[in-house]
Chain A
């Protein structure tokens, strides 16, 4: 079965610091990749997604992620975080043609003003 690993479970940063959250998956075939964000008290929202094409994907709110096939990775980045980025972040992977995304355990990000 496919698995998704998020290496950082808790991250604490100060405003303006750079962010990189790791995501690795185990499936060797075609994959669709996602990052979701869950702000406190809100529902899961899509930050960005990769289906094909340019492996560097731009998302909302200044986030981006890079798909590196050889490393089975899809790390999320933001050059300068804000207090409002405090949230839980989930990486998800779907095998190409599958209906079912598999989620990582999530990373809790706290940004201090």
Chain B
């Protein structure tokens, strides 16, 4: 069966420091991969999605970037964190356009 791993679960980082959140999917090949940010009362905002290795689409301009170095690996990064980057980040995957998305456990990022 397929599983999605996201880490770390919580992270506290100083302003100006770099960020790297990792997400991997097991048990499937060529998944669609997504990074969402969840804010209280504001639902899930899509940040990035990828339909293949090296292919990244950005939905909103911001201080973050994403990369997909391997088929089942999706990384969310920042060179210099801002206070406003604090939030709950969710990785998700789907098999194709005809199936639902499956979510990881999320990372609670606090920028101090």
Contacts and interface: CB of A to CB of B under 8 A. Distances in A.
Contacts, number: 50
Interface residues of B, number: 23
Interface string A1-34: 0001010010000000000000000000000101
A44 B103 contact: yes
Interface string B4-46: 0000000000000000000000000000101010000111101
Given A44-B90, A99-B32, A105 B104 contact: no
B49 A99 contact: yes
At the interface, is chain B mostly helix, strand, loop or mixed?
Answer: strand
Given A99-B32, A100-B49, A105-B42, A43 B98 contact: no
Interface string B48-90: 0101000000000000000000000000000000000000001
16 contacts: A6-B43, A34-B100, A43-B103, A43-B105, A43-B106, A49-B100, A51-B98, A94-B97, A99-B32, A99-B94, A100-B34, A100-B46, A100-B49, A101-B100, A102-B46, A105-B42
Interface of B: 32, 34, 36, 41-44, 46, 49, 51, 90, 92, 94, 96-98, 100-106
